[in-house]
Amino acid sequence: MTTFAVEVHQNEYLARGATDVSALVRVTATGSGGARPTAGGAEVIIVDVSGSMASPRVKIRSAIEATIAAIRCIRDGVRFAVVAGSSTAQHVYPGDGRLAVADDLTRQAAIDAVGQLRANGGTVMASWLHAADALFATEPTAIRHAILLTDGKDESPLLLEPMLEECAGRFQCDCRGIGADWEVAQLRQVASALLGDLGLVRRADELAADFTDLMERAMGKVVSDVALRIWVPQGAELTTIKQVAPGVEDLAPHRTVINERTGDYPTGAWGDESRDYHVRVKVPAREIDEEMLAARVSVIVDDATEGEGKVRAVWTADDALSTRLNPEVVRCTGQTDYADAVQSGIAALRAGDDVVATTNLGRAAQLAQALGDDAKLAEVARVVNIEDAGRGTVQLKRHVDDLDVMELDTNSTRTVRVRSSAP
């Protein structure tokens, strides 16, 4: 039985007249260990087989190998299918518009079918997602998860957007880009809309390991359709609701209105894991020594509250209290600021605005250093020459590998959490 615990990290003390309450809300699920999803799982693997996958030849071979690796990870009893995507979607396995039940026989049959794939045609992701959605519709009560692998840019963004709206909330989809010809912002849009994770696979031979990893995580999910419900008092406004770990993800666009003061934010399926959210509320100021509940954060599963955390505000005349910074909150704002700085910097780089690019990437270097995140600092250093990370002074490189820029961009929203010493 999975249980959810909600921890709130904040400095609840506000100075006179202050209205900004910031908190890090950590939700931890435990107890799913070894449990099988009660509703059963459904998995669709979507692999790009557009013409571009044929060059270099190793790309389609790697995609096939990765898909096979993923198929091997599908647990017995899970319903699954493989879809090949080009200008249209092709049902590769089982092929009759349904999902197969995983066992040794069906897994082998799927592997055989995938081995026959050839690269050909264009890239219309909307058709792939539509096919996945139709497959999942045959298992409406299952925990529905898809993996989408592509190497190119979607050719019909006008179709893609409404399709994402259509599919949002029906299944989750982790996205992987391979090579340097896909567009980070576009695939991020797909992953965000479908509550999935975005990743860049630099070398084709890394793909199988990454797919195995993704699939293992997907198979660990046992509770589906978990939502965060956030209440704020009258006169208050929820100004930020972002997941900050394991990745930075703005939840605000996913809001479902419960009532004027309460909204639900879908978080998809959970296994044993912990996720961090940055909650920021603008409240009407009160007098010194008054207390206010600034936000009530509940975990909602099947319309029942499974855990609750309280974000409080207490006004104080004591500056020593109100100016104290909560290290967890500092860290989480650092993560989101870093992602913003990187993305603004790269957008400026692409637009040829060197001044803005230098400023933002300098800020990114500074934040990465402050976060103590050496991996991020190294990623920034591949795109700019860092003169002084502490002061955020950098110089643009004369020649930059496109893949390095894409990797910096993709990973900007991924966060490494350093365990806090606090309980």
Nearest to 344 by CA among 373, 367, 364: 364
Contact mark string toward another protein, 234..273, x via CB under 8 A = xxx-----------------------xx------------
- Is the CB of 19 or the CB of 274 nearer to another protein? 19
Q: Which residue's structure tokens are 């799927």?
A: 110
CA quadruple 104, 106, 112, 117: dihedral sign: negative
Residue whose entry in the numeric block shows the structure tokens 């630099």: 202
Q: Is 193 in the site for another protein (CB under 8 A)?
A: no
Say whether residue 287 binds another protein (CB under 8 A): yes
94: cis peptide before it, omega within 30°? yes
Site for another protein in 267-286 (CB under 8 A): 283-284, 286
Structure token pair of residue 141: 């009560």
Q: Residue 368 has which token pair?
A: 């990465």
Shortest spacing between CB 188 and another protein, in angstroms: 35
Tell whether residue 303 is a contact of another protein (CB under 8 A). no
351: which 2 tokens? 């637009």
Which residue matches tokens 């009160």? Answer: 286
| Residue 390 is a binding residue for another protein (CB under 8 A) | no
Q: CB-wise, 71 or 283, nearer to another protein?
A: 283
Residue 289 touching another protein (CB under 8 A):
yes
The pattern of x and - marking residues 306 through 345 that bind another protein according to CB under 8 A reads ----x--xx-------------------------------
- Residue 294, classed as helix, strand or coil, is strand
> Could you tell me how many residues of this chain bind another protein (CB under 8 A)?
23
Q: Is 233 in the site for another protein (CB under 8 A)?
A: yes
Torsion 64-128-109-215 (CA) sign: positive
Q: Taking contact as CB under 8 A, which single stretch among the options 89-97, 127-135, 189-197, 232-240 is the one that binds another protein?
A: 232-240
Complex with another protein: residue 237 or 402, whichever CB lies closer = 237
Tell me how far CA of residue 161 lies from CA of 25, 158, 164, 187, in angstroms. Answer: 31, 6, 5, 12
Does 231 bind another protein (CB under 8 A)? Our answer is yes
Cis peptide upstream of residue 140 (ω within 30 degrees of 0): no
Q: Which residues bind another protein (CB under 8 A)?
A: 231-236, 260-261, 283-284, 286-294, 296, 310, 313-314
